[in-house]
Amino acid sequence: MEAVSHALGAWGNPSSVHSYGRAARRIVEDSRRHVGGLAGVDPAAVVFTSGGTEANNLALRGCGRARILVSAIEHLSVLEAANNIELIPVDENGVVDLKALQATLGDGGDTVVSVMLANNETGVIQPVSRAAALAHEAGALFHCDAVQGAGRLKLDFSTLGADLMTLSAHKIGGPKGAGALIAADHVQLGAINRGGGQERGRRSGTENVPGIAGFGAAAEQASAEVASAGNLAALRDRLEERVLAEIPGARIVGAGAARLPNTSCIALPGISAETQIMALDLAGFAVSAGSACSSGKVKPSHVLAAMGFDNDIAACAIRVSLGAGNSEADIEGFVAAYRDFAKRAGATAA
Ligand code: PLP
């Protein structure tokens, strides 16, 4: 908030050469260093965008490859970035099937492959560097949507083996409406937003200086705190243990795979995610469904459907995300509220 409000006062346009413009430019370039630091890249590789959605679109539509192969559990901003997207299946734990990727790739000279670092609904971590290696062996480019992994896993663009990588400010505590595409030097990125040539011609439009400032501050903090993010896993494990012990029928989705430390996807078969979310909200707990579309309506999760779950589970799963401010007492409070709700809902159903 401090970084954003300070930047609101820097009213110059970063493209202007007068001193006010230069002050705004300094804010943008400082943030670029911090975001580059978080991703382990030179700041020049950072292209600021209006968020993860735009960065995913820019990556897949701007990279100049005609064929687009993506895992079936990607965020909708990847799945809907083009009309000709081909899907790579995932296994029952929601991990992308690398054999299927290899078999589908063929001659990858005109292909871009996109596999996310961690799934936003289940938290399941994907074998990104192995997928990148397969893509490169076939001559394809590799894009990684790292929106959910940033700040929770150590990010290193070159270790991941990506050519393009997406980040979003609001997933690491920054403001909504700011994000970045990390683009390796060798990628000839064609702009989608054309005009004044900002961001070295890769994304025209006057920069969102306050949003970028907040993104930079959040990235700096996330880089410092990523080592302790793993501590949340103990709290998450406790939450899952207690839910399974207290709520008959509840199940943890993706439990058989490596997952982000803060995410739990819990299915309560037969009770829609929407009903669960509303009841928990009334009890003071803010949780989400797999995918909330802009109307606020909850649809069955395409991620859970891709994992082979039928609607009874895919429409009945909630996502619980923990943060640094959560405690054991929160977990107990949540389990009690969830258990009471599940009892009431079960009684109504019976
Ligand atoms: N990719 C993933 C995995 C996400 O979870 C999200 C947002 O939830 C996005 C992309 C889109 O990012 P933004 O909200 O910044 O457009």
- pTM value is 0.95
Q: Which of 63, 144, 293, 316 is catalytic?
A: 293
Residues of the chain with pLDDT under 50: 293-295, 350
The two tokens of residue 156 are: 């290193």
Whether residue 250 contacts residue 266, with contact meaning beta carbons closer than 8 Å, is answered with yes
**Count of C-beta atoms within a 10 Å radius of residue 148:** 26
pLDDT at 227: 82
Is 177 buried (19+), middle (13-18) or exposed (0-12) by CB count in 10 A? middle
- 3.40.228.10, 3.30.70.270, 3.40.50.300, 3.90.1150.10: which CATH number matches 228-345? 3.90.1150.10
Residue count of the chain, please give it.
Answer: 350
Ordered alpha helix ranges (H), the chain: 2-9, 19-39, 52-62, 76-79, 98-105, 128-137, 157-160, 209-229, 232-246, 273-282, 302-306, 311-314, 328-349
> Residue 196 and residue 215: Cα distance in Å, rounded?
23
Q: Is 148 in the pocket of ligand 1 (CB under 6 A)?
A: yes
The answer to whether the 2-226 and 228-345 domains have the same CATH topology is: no
Closest residue CA from atom 13 of ligand 1: 52
DSSP state letter for 298: B
Domain borders along the chain are: 2-226, 228-345
pLDDT at 349: 54
pLDDT at 250: 96
pLDDT in tens, 197-252: 999 999 999 999 999 999 999 999 999 988 888 789 999 999 999 999 999 999 99
Q: Is 75 in the pocket of ligand 1 (CB under 6 A)?
A: yes
Q: How many A from CA of 293 to the centre of ligand 1?
A: 12
pLDDT at 311: 85
Q: How many A from CA of 350 to the centre of ligand 1?
A: 38
> Residue 333 and residue 329: Cα distance in Å, rounded?
6
> Residue 65 and residue 85: Cα distance in Å, rounded?
12
CATH 2.40.50.100 fits 2-226, yes or no: no
For 92-117, letters b (16+ CB in 10 Å) and e give eebbbebebbbebbeebeebbbbbbb
| HEC secondary structure over 75-137 | CHHHHCCCCCEEEECECCCCCECHHHHHHHHCCHHHEEEECCCECCCCCEECCHHHHHHHHHH
Catalytic, 316? Answer no
The β-bridge relationship of strands 317-321 and 263-267 is: antiparallel
pLDDT in tens, 262-283: 999 999 999 999 999 999 999 9
